Amino acid sequence: MAGRKVITTQVAIVGGGPAGLMLSHLLAKEGIDSTVIELRSRQEISETVRAGILEHGTVNLLVDSGVSDRVLRDGDRHDGIELRFNGESHRIDFQDLVGESVWLYPQTDVFMDLAARREADGGDVRYSATDTSIHGIHGGSPTVWFTDADGTDYELRADFIAGADGSRSHCRMQIPEADRKWYFHEYPFAWFGILAEAPRSSEELIYANSANGFALISQRTETVQRMYFQCDPGEDVNNWDDERIWEAFRSRVNGNGFELKEGPVIDKTVLKFRSFVHTPMRHGKLFLAGDAAHTVPPTGAKGLNLAIQDVRVLFEGLDSFYKTGSTRLLDVYSDRALDRVWKAQHFSYWMTSMLHTPAEADDFSRARQLGELNSVVSSRHGRAYLAEAYTGWPAGR
């Protein structure tokens, strides 16, 4: 067999989702070379339905770094959300409380903007790669082995490897057990997510708590809506026809004059909750970013935002290294990133436990939960706490 074709770059990026592409883009702007290796095809990633809320900091980075300003034109700015419980809606007014907003702009569109920008700028992104593996992260010369879409075997040599290869990360698994600490939390909940052909039921997102469980009313376009309701993690979508699905939503959201607009369900999936943090986020020449290092339940809409924050901090470390030779910012990458990761981990946990109804909830826990919701919405401080976390904390240390 012929040997591997050797190619070199400065930063090898494993994973071509939003985190990997954003890192590649930021590096390219500073003249730092990178190659991105991705197992999926560009089309497959474009067709994956993912969550849709961007913090203002994420939007600013997309726009200011020149990825695209499409989010400002095609995205919807949301100045608040509604918390709905006991049949009543309570608005959390982000603008009034913290002077910030979020944007409803699906992760798929973030990916498409980044992929288009990398392509236009001549970025080296290898989609549809196979047999990817990383080597030499402990020593001075890390490499990524992969086979490209045409079947050619490569050895990619780099100064550093960024592992942005998602929650089942191959990169993460190469870190020896003795050098890592793994935090894991299992939630007894899952979401039943649908896309439905229907007009908007509300201009803003509705996070609804009810004795029958949680529901989230989100949007996509004038004619297609995204919604979720709490379900058992073992639920099978095939047991749910449209009528049963809408009945689940009605019993959690409708009431006191509010009625969801219904229509044909065109997509249904069960989203399992997984929550983990892998520390540290660096091992030798390998830096983990995004879902490769941590996942959160979707209730706080933090997953993509955290991934983008990670690569922003990692970029600062790499840029500083290439400009000055100093590894100081690379050395504090993990601590800097984890500061926000744990804030988001807590916020997602808090939103999840406050809004979902455990199957075994007794009268006390139900009444306590309503007490918690009331204490948040009836206090400006409570609402401001939620608003600050939801829209995104200021950039950290």
Residues marked as catalytic: 78, 207, 298, 302, 390
Q: Which two tokens stand for residue 162?
A: 């960024």
Please report whether residue 298 would count as binding ligand PHB according to CB under 6 A. Answer: yes
Residues 6+ apart with CB under 8 A from 296: 275, 302, 303, 306, 344, 345, 348
Map tokens 């609804």 to a residue: 208
Residue from 25, 84, 118, 226 binding ligand PHB (CB under 6 A): 226
Find the shortest distance in angstroms from Cβ 318 to ligand PHB: 31
Using CB under 6 A as the binding rule, whether residue 297 contacts ligand PHB is answered as: no
Q: Are strands 130-135 and 286-288 parallel, antiparallel or unpaired?
A: unpaired
Q: How far is the CB of 345 from ligand PHB (least distance, A)?
A: 15
Please give the Cα distance from 154 to 169 (Å, whole number).
20
Q: Which is nearer to ligand PHB, 301 or 330 (CB)?
A: 301
Q: Which CB atom, from 80 or from 317, has the smaller least distance to ligand PHB?
A: 80
Q: Does 166 bind ligand PHB (CB under 6 A)?
A: no
- Cβ-based nearer residue to ligand PHB, 218 or 295: 218
Q: Does 102 bind ligand PHB (CB under 6 A)?
A: no
Answer for the pair 237, 268: CB distance below 8 angstroms, yes or no: yes
Helices (H), the chain: 18-29, 42-46, 56-64, 70-74, 94-98, 107-120, 170-173, 242-253, 303-324, 328-331, 333-355, 363-377, 380-391
Q: Does 227 bind ligand PHB (CB under 6 A)?
A: no
Q: Would you say 40 or 50 has its CB closer to ligand PHB?
A: 50
Distance (Å, whole) CA 382 – CA 391: 14
Q: Which of 51, 125, 311, 318 lies at the binding interface for ligand PHB (CB under 6 A)?
A: 51
Q: Is 58 in the site for ligand PHB (CB under 6 A)?
A: no
Residue 19's alpha-carbon distances to 2, 94, 339, in angstroms, are 34, 26, 18
- For the bound state, the minimum distance from the C-beta of residue 118 to ligand PHB, rounded and expressed in Å, comes to 24
Candidates 143, 218, 334, 357; binder of ligand PHB (CB under 6 A) is 218
Q: Which residues bind ligand PHB (CB under 6 A)?
A: 51-53, 205, 216, 218, 226, 298-299, 301
